[in-house]
Amino acid sequence: MHRSQFFSPQAGRTIEAPLHASARFAVGEVVRHRLFDFRGVVFDIDPVFANSEEWYESIPAAVRPSREQPFYHLLAENSESSYVAYVSQQNLMSDAENGPVEHPQVGELFDDFSEGRYRLRRGLSH
């Protein structure tokens, strides 16, 4: 299998990833966590786990996801607060039918919510 490398600031190290990872969700899509009551908009995607070991080990072993899948950075919200979340692909599902996300940083990264998704602001795309 061909692999590439990228530096992860969260992990503080270089991460190896497959050249072709298949992300189910795209930047700008609204998603919901399968197990916990929060939703958010995707603003970045790592092809494999690329956070710190402490973060990974803090997840209970019984529900700890595989590292070898896409992980999504979300502008997330629940009924009490807004925050940034880092979630494995296996724990997300589409949630666009419930409308836009009210996270205060959405306007910094995205234009209006239209046709079930956000469009990245001009000049912010890779």
Report pLDDT for 123. 73
**pTM exceeding the 0.75 threshold for the entire prediction:** yes
Q: Please state, in angstroms and rounded to a whole number, the distance separating the CA atoms of residues 15 and 24.
A: 20
Reported CATH class of domain 3-120: mainly beta
pLDDT digits (tens, 9 = 90+) for 36-72: 999 999 999 998 899 998 999 999 998 899 998 999 9
Report pLDDT for 115. 87
pLDDT digits (tens, 9 = 90+) for 15-32: 666 666 688 999 999 999
Q: Please state, in angstroms and rounded to a whole number, the distance separating the CA atoms of residues 118 and 124.
A: 13
Of 75, 107, 92, the C-alpha closest to 36 is 92
Residue 11 has pLDDT above 70, yes or no: no
How do the domains of the chain map onto residue ranges? 3-120
